[in-house]
Structure 1
Amino acid sequence: MLYKSLVINDDPLSMMITRKLIDIATFSKETVSAVNGEDALTYFDSFVSGNSSSPVPEFIFLDLSMPVMDGWGFLEVFSSKYASLFPHVKVAITSAFLDNNDLLRLEKYAMVIGYFPPPICLEKLADIKEKLAGFFSHKRLEAVA
């Protein structure tokens, strides 16, 4: 089981459903959320500055289409500013619509493990867990599998 997941999505219903399914699937012990990329980056700033004693999220469910700062902006800043500080953090893209150019563009971000279009369901969480098995120790994921 992962310790913490972060859901970045501006749609309250999508966020609520994703968080509930994470709980049902025992995907992570804790789930936090942000309504846009800027809020999520501010959250990561709290770890860099030492203002947070809680664990850094190991996994992010990221919508790409949001106001203020979209998921693309988040990925760009995270990859340049935080990826080296938090190399264990992995990301699933959960946007509704991506075209082939978007999928190619995602390949430049090493932390992105794949595209999982909504709605998030237990089967997609199982697919994500399977992909994560290569990144995290078996012991930490055994309760999730």
Structure 2
Amino acid sequence: MIDLNTCIIDNNSTYVYGFKKMISLKNAGQQVTHFNNGVEAIDYLKNPLNAFNLPDIIFLDINMPVMNGWEFMNEFVEIKSQLRKKISIYILSASADINDIERAKNISDISDYILKPVDWCRLEEIFNSLQMAG
């Protein structure tokens, strides 16, 4: 089983703590990086010092201060060609708003829109599919 570098972009520290625990129990992820907002994550992705330590997968919340998930995606689309790897992005949101779900479906860089809390089986499916692709 290959290890996946995982990134969580979410400002809810309680949710992030639980999500990190779930990932560590799955033992899928040699590294879990966390950012409280999109600006921190974009700065990390753009920093050349991190070029060989980019995440394989990003779990992205929509509603955050400073830079929300939609704004992050706009920036990500601009910089993705400069990144040295393909990064899978999953929206993780408490919002069941059909407009948010449709908006996510219309962004080709978003792999899926998942309602919080993500369940164990869905998380396992995601990691397994990425490991098979890798």
Is the CA contact 1:90–1:111 (under 8 Å) kept in the aligned structure 2? yes
What is the aligned partner in structure 1 of residue 116 from structure 2?
118
In structure 1, C-alpha distance between the alignment counterparts of 2:120 and 2:128, rounded to whole Å: 12
Matched, 1:61 2:52: no
Task: Give the deviation of 1:111 after TM superposition.
Answer: 2.2
Give the count of matched residue pairs: 132
In structure 1, C-alpha distance between the alignment counterparts of 2:86 and 2:3, rounded to whole Å: 11
Paired-residue identity, %: 25
Q: Gaps (5+ residues) in structure 1?
A: 138-145
Which structure would you say has the larger RCO, counting Cα contacts within 8 Å and 6 or more residues apart? 1
What is the aligned partner in structure 2 of residue 99 from structure 1?
97
Is the CA contact 1:64–1:95 (under 8 Å) kept in the aligned structure 2? yes
RMSD: 1.8
* Aligned residue type for 1:102: D
Question: Aligned to 1:20, what secondary structure does the other structure show?
Answer: helix
TM-score in terms of structure 2 length: 0.87
Which string of whole-angstrom CA distances, capped at 9 and with x for unpartnered residues, describes residues 51-76 of structure 1?
Answer: 23642101001100001100010011
Matched, 1:36 2:37: yes
What is the aligned partner in structure 1 of residue 12 from structure 2?
11
* Aligned residue type for 2:50: S
Higher helix share: 2
Q: Gaps (5+ residues) in structure 2?
A: none
Which string of whole-angstrom CA distances, capped at 9 and with x for unpartnered residues, describes residues 4-23 of structure 1?
Answer: 11000000001111111111
* Aligned residue type for 2:122: K
